[in-house]
Every structure is written in structure tokens, then in C-alpha cells.
């Protein structure tokens, strides 16, 4: 089979399961052909796969047809221009989270800042902030072991392991006895309302970690808990910054106001949805 034949056949086969059937097929081909650039695929459409390459392709594409996310199949995902290793047990970093990171970078880029990130996941937020804010130190907290292990790998791979500390923690529990207060508290917490979990796409609900998704009955449990506890750990004039679900910005603003945050504002994602909520503790 040539690369062209494969693209035509499997783009069709993946239509049911994937919103990006061509891209998924290309990503698997890139892997099978030895981690080549995407442009290689386009410049070599008449190339025949070897028997071994085709065998490997069939094995990987069948995982995708069964619903396994492409990022878990190939083991990585790009976020903020950086490469993140991912595996089952960590949330795959989403473009939805980039506006939050971009806004914090904008607010802090020339400052010396102590940051705490609640809910490490792959380390997407933690590592990007450590990478792009020169004078930053980040404490990254997660309740599960796999995110802490994966976050550490991504900090090393992206050259920021000397700026980041990872700790197993239920929200702030691991740092409750330390004196340090933080300039920035950031979180992309689990925020899907319990009743909506069943309506999620197979590749999310059957493969991504449940405790990275569910945020209680109305999806707001983590915003209530983190905001309430945050006041103990935040500096005067410190920033609390959240990613929120598509219809949660107003509720999260109210939760922050009720806990003494001011100058609260939102930022939209690329689809025009209020995706980031930021407030200051005066
Ligand atoms: C939505 S994911 C975000 C991951 C990553 N920050 C990102 O944006 O891609 C939420 C993360 O919070 C972690 N988490 C869930 N409950 C927690 C808790 N009580 N304390 C700390 N982390 C928690 C999950 O394990 C998961 O890694």
C-alpha cells in the first residue's frame, strides 16, 4: 500500500470516531515511518510502506478505530509550542487551556513569581509557565501518582526541572504547613458536571482519567473549594487564575467575589467562549 492509498482508506474509516480523520491517519503514519515530519507524508504520497511498517500501522490505526485517543497512541501532544509526553492516567493537554497560560505569562513575564498549579495532569500548565516566565518557580500539586510522574518527565524534557517541585496533594494539603505565600494560584480543575459525563465523547469518557473530569453535581465543586482555601496561600495582590467550562465563567466570578477577590475579569478562547477567569486578592 502507498501512503496515498492508506490516507484515502483510513480517513474514511476514522470518520465515525474522529473529528480529524486525516490528521489522525497522518500522525500514525509519521510514527510508523520513524517520527518523520508531517511534510514528509505530503512529499512521499507514492511511497510504499514496508511489510513491518504496514503491520505497525494496522495495529495503531485499529486502536484509533476502537476510540483510543491519538495522543495516547503516539505518546505525545504539543501544547504552547512544547512537546508533552502523555499516557493513560493523565489528561491530554487541550488548546482550550492555552489562553489561561498565555494570560499568566503576559501578566508575569518580567516579574519574579512563585506559582502553585493545582492539578498537574501532564504538567502542561506547570511546565509552560516555568518555561516562558524566566524568573518563576512552580509548585505543582496533584492527588494522583501518574500525573506527578508524567509531569516530572515533561519538566525534564523541556529543561525546567530545576524550577518546578511536584508534590502529591489533595488540593493544598501538601503545602499547608509551609510559610511561603504565592504570587499566582492557577488551576484547570475537573469541571464537568456529574450528569454530563455520560454525554462525553467515547475517547474522553472511556480513556481519560475520571478524576480529571468530574467536578461534582454542578461542576463547580473545585472552584468553591480551591477559592475558599486559596486565601490562606495567596500574597497580597496575588492572582487566582482558572480555566472554566463553557458556561461557568459567571458562577466562578461570583465564587471569587464571595471570597474577597476583586478586579475579576474573563478571557475568551479561540471559539469566543469565556474560558479564563482571573481575580486579584487585595
Ligand atoms: C482537568 S485536569 C488538568 C490537568 C492539567 N493541568 C491540564 O490543564 O492539562 C485536573 C487534574 O486535577 C487532578 N485532581 C483531581 N482532584 C484533585 C485534588 N483533590 N487535588 C489535587 N489534584 C486533583 C487530576 O488528577 C488531574 O490531573
Q: How many other C-beta atoms lie within 10 A of the C-beta of residue 69?
A: 22
The verdict on whether residue 89 carries a ligand-binding annotation is no
Residue 267 sits at the vertex; the CA angle it makes with 101 and 211, to the nearest 5 degrees, is 60
The verdict on whether residue 147 carries a ligand-binding annotation is no
* pLDDT by residue, tens only, the chain of 282 residues: 999 999 999 999 999 999 999 999 999 999 999 999 999 999 999 999 999 999 999 999 999 999 999 999 999 999 999 999 999 999 999 999 999 999 999 999 999 999 999 999 999 999 999 999 999 999 999 999 999 999 999 999 999 999 999 999 999 999 999 888 999 999 999 999 999 999 999 899 999 999 999 999 999 999 999 999 999 999 999 999 999 999 999 999 999 999 999 999 999 999 999 999 999 998
Q: Whose CA is nearest to atom 5 of ligand 1?
A: 121
User: Is residue 93 lining ligand 1, measured as CB closer than 6 Å?
Assistant: yes
Q: Whose CA is nearest to atom 26 of ligand 1?
A: 212
Q: Whose CA is nearest to atom 4 of ligand 1?
A: 121
Could you tell me the three cell numbers for 235? 500574597
Q: Which H or E element spans position 237?
A: strand 234-243
Rounded distance from Cα 37 to ligand 1 centre (Å): 32
Q: Which H or E element spans position 35?
A: none
Q: How many other C-beta atoms lie within 10 A of the C-beta of residue 85?
A: 18
* Ligand 1 binding pocket mutation candidate from 189, 204, 220 (most atoms within 8 A of CB): 189
Nearest atom of ligand 1 to the alpha carbon of 120: 6
Q: How far is CA 281 from the centre of its chain?
A: 26
Nearest atom of ligand 1 to the alpha carbon of 243: 8
113 burial type by CB count under 10 A (0-12 exposed, 13-18 middle, 19+ buried):
buried
pLDDT of residue 276: 98
User: Is residue 143 lining ligand 1, measured as CB closer than 6 Å?
Assistant: yes
Q: Dihedral, CA atoms, 27, 32, 36, 39, nearest 10 degrees?
A: -50
The verdict on whether residue 67 carries a ligand-binding annotation is no
The verdict on whether residue 95 carries a ligand-binding annotation is no
User: Is residue 170 lining ligand 1, measured as CB closer than 6 Å?
Assistant: yes
Specify the residue for cell string 480523520.
Answer: 21
ipTM: 0.99
Amino acid at each position: 500500500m502507498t501512503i496515498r492509498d492508506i490516507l484515502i482508506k483510513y480517513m474514511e474509516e476514522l470518520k465515525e470516531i474522529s473529528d480529524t480523520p486525516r490528521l489522525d491517519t497522518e500522525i500514525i503514519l509519521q510514527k510508523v515511518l520513524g517520527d518523520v515530519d508531517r511534510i514528509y507524508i505530503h512529499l512521499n504520497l507514492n511511497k510504499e510502506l514496508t511489510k513491518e511498517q504496514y503491520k505497525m500501522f494496522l495495529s495503531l490505526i485499529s486502536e484509533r478505530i476502537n476510540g483510543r485517543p491519538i495522543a495516547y497512541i503516539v505518546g505525545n501532544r504539543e501544547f504552547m509550542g512544547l512537546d508533552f509526553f502523555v499516557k493513560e492516567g493523565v489528561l491530554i493537554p487541550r488548546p482550550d487551556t492555552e489562553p489561561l497560560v498565555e494570560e499568566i505569562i503576559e501578566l508575569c513575564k518580567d516579574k519574579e513569581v512563585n506559582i502553585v498549579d493545582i492539578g498537574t495532569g501532564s504538567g502542561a500548565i506547570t511546565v509552560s509557565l516555568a518555561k516562558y516566565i524566566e524568573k518563576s518557580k512552580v509548585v505543582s500539586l496533584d492527588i494522583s501518582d501518574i500525573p506527578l510522574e508524567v509531569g516530572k518527565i515533561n519538566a525534564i524534557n523541556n529543561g525546567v526541572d530545576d524550577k518546578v517541585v511536584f508534590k502529591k496533594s489533595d488540593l493544598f494539603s501538601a503545602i499547608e504547613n509551609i510559610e511561603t505565600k504565592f504570587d499566582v494560584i492557577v488551576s484547570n480543575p475537573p469541571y464537568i458536571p456529574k450528569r454530563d459525563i455520560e454525554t462525553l465523547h467515547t475517547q474522553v469518557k472511556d480513556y481519560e482519567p475520571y478524576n480529571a473530569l468530574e467536578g461534582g453535581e454542578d461542576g463547580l465543586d473545585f472552584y468553591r473549594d480551591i477559592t475558599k482555601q486559596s486565601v490562606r496561600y495567596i500574597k497580597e495582590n496575588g492572582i487566582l487564575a482558572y480555566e472554566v467550562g463553557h458556561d461557568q465563567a459567571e458562577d466562578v466570578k461570583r465564587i471569587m467575589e464571595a471570597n474577597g477577590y476583586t478586579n475579576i475579569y474573563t478571557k475568551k478562547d479561540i471559539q469566543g467562549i469565556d474560558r479564563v477567569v482571573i481575580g486579584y486578592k487585595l
